[in-house]
Amino acid sequence: MEKVSKRIAALADSQTLAMNQKSKDLEAQGIDIINLSVGEPDFFTPEHVKEAAKKAIDANYTFYSPVPGYPDLRKAISVKLKEENNLNYSPAQIVVSNGAKHSLANAIMTIIDPGDEVIVLAPYWVSYVELVKLAEGKTVIINTSIENDFKATPAQIEAAITPRTRALLICSPSNPTGSVYTRDELEGIARVIEKHPNIIVLSDEIYEHINFVGKHESIAQFDFIFERVIVINGVSKGYSMTGWRIGYLAAPCWIANACNKLQGQFTSGPSSIAQKASVAAITGDKSFTREMNKAFRRRRDLVIDMMKEIPGMKINIPQGAFYVFPDMSYFFGKTFQGKKIENADDLSLFLLSEAHVASVSGDAFGAPECIRFSYATSDDKLREAFKRIKRSLELLQ
Ligand code: PMP
Ligand code: GLU
């Protein structure tokens, strides 16, 4: 009998990865698709990082590493957190995993019991809700609006808290909206959390290095909640290392130890070679990251200028990450060749088939009026993509 567990049957596919695959399948058929679906930097991993990986192979770093990662990598992360973020985490408080997604999964599995509530701010990244579901937790969604730059207020968070609330998930810079919380905004949220000692904050900071407004601000900086914050980060975005699969969390010892136990049963330590490459990334020259940040900023400006020329697209100005997340509801109810565009799913598919541009429907992010476009691709492709999008949207009646 072909029967998967209820747990997996109830799980949704990752829409970001599904759309990326769909786009690649069409490309393989010879169709000229511009893929703005998945979010990953389009730059090659820096040379010094690749060299470190080659050296690691030659030096026979080919055995299991300690479950939470090699001591030198955990030390490098501890120093990075002190120097870049002014956060005091010892290496013992750091667990290295197979990407930030895995770190998030470890953290959620570690702190959530069945029925526990997790506050998630919509629009949210696709995997949060599904990971909470796997842990049999209950997500409590707070909706935000484009007018407020998709940011939640302390009052909204306060109102969502119940005696069952166990965690708050926050992502800044945000995927999918590109919003970046200021220090004051984070402090306002931290003051609410301070009053509720059972709540743990999961702070997803994977886009730390793709920030156009200056210094990265972590909610872990507030001493009065520090003991209840888990920082999630990794090398995927800041060093263009998505395929290397290295992420990490920094947390109070009791949480780090529990994640270590879980990881020891589930996956063991992450790739030995990728860990050595990550040491080079984290301790090495940062000019690559600075240049990449500049390129994303330029592309953000380029894309926003082109979007302003498309009547009906409502936009916020993203201040980090590499996504734009326009409200496209103006186009819902319009028709193309007799077929009605009912929602963002229909519109995203229409753009794929008519403009040959892949995007991700906002539905996957808890914002059914929006569509996400990643601008992590060349300026030329972006120009062509938005020309095609504009032309296709003009066909809608
Ligand atoms: N959090 C967010 C908000 C992301 O966009 C991503 C990238 N998909 C991740 C976590 C996971 O990153 P990684 O590739 O390191 O697993
Ligand atoms: N950060 C990417 C995205 O949101 C990667 C895809 C994923 O890991 O789901 O598109």
Q: To test ligand 2's pocket by mutation, which of 13, 20, 40 has the most ligand atoms within 8 angstroms of CB?
A: 40
- Pocket of ligand 1 contains residue 242 by CB under 6 Å: yes
> Given pLDDT bands bounded at 50, 70 and 90, which one contains residue 15?
confident
For residue 374, the cross-strand partners are 323
Give nearest CA residue, ligand 2 atom 9.
16
pLDDT score of 214:
86
- At position 227, the amino acid (one-letter code) is E
Is residue 177 lining ligand 1, measured as CB closer than 6 Å? no
Residue for token pair 């020309």? 387
**Cα 378 to middle of ligand 1, angstroms:** 21
| Cβ-count burial 351-377 (b if 16+ within 10 Å, e if not) | bbebbbbbbbbbbbbbbbbbbbbbbbb
Contact 332, 347 (CB under 8 A): yes
Confidence tier at 170 by pLDDT (50, 70, 90): very high
Distance between CA atoms of residues 2 and 49, nearest Å: 44
For residue 100, the CA-to-ligand 1 centroid distance in Å is: 5
**Is residue 395 pLDDT above 90, yes or no?**
yes
Residue 84 CB burial class (10 angstroms; 0-12, 13-18, ≥19):
middle
End-to-end CA distance of the chain: 49
pLDDT of residue 38: 85
Q: Give pLDDT tens digits for 112-162.
A: 999 999 999 999 999 999 999 999 999 999 999 999 999 999 999 999 999
pLDDT, mean of residues 203-230: 97
Q: Rounded to the nearest whole angstrom, what is the distance from the C-alpha of residue 20 to the centroid of ligand 2?
A: 9
Quickly state the pLDDT bin for 175 (edges 50, 70, 90).
Answer: very high
For ligand 1, mutation pick of 96, 108, 175, 206 (most atoms within 8 Å of CB): 206
CA 333 to chain centre: 31
Residue 336 backbone phi and psi in degrees, to 5: -135, 120
Q: 234 CA distance to ligand 1 centroid (A)?
A: 8
Cα gap 171→125, rounded to integer Å: 8
Ligand having the closest approach to the CA of 125: 1
Ligand lying nearest the CA atom of residue 98 = 1
Band the pLDDT of 256: cuts 50, 70, 90: very high
Q: Identify the pLDDT of residue 16.
A: 86
Q: Is residue 349 within 6 Å of ligand 2 at its C-beta?
A: no
Q: Which of 348, 343, 394 lies closest to 372, judged by CA? A: 348
List pLDDT tens digits, range 289-340.
999 999 999 999 999 999 999 999 999 999 999 999 999 999 999 999 999 9
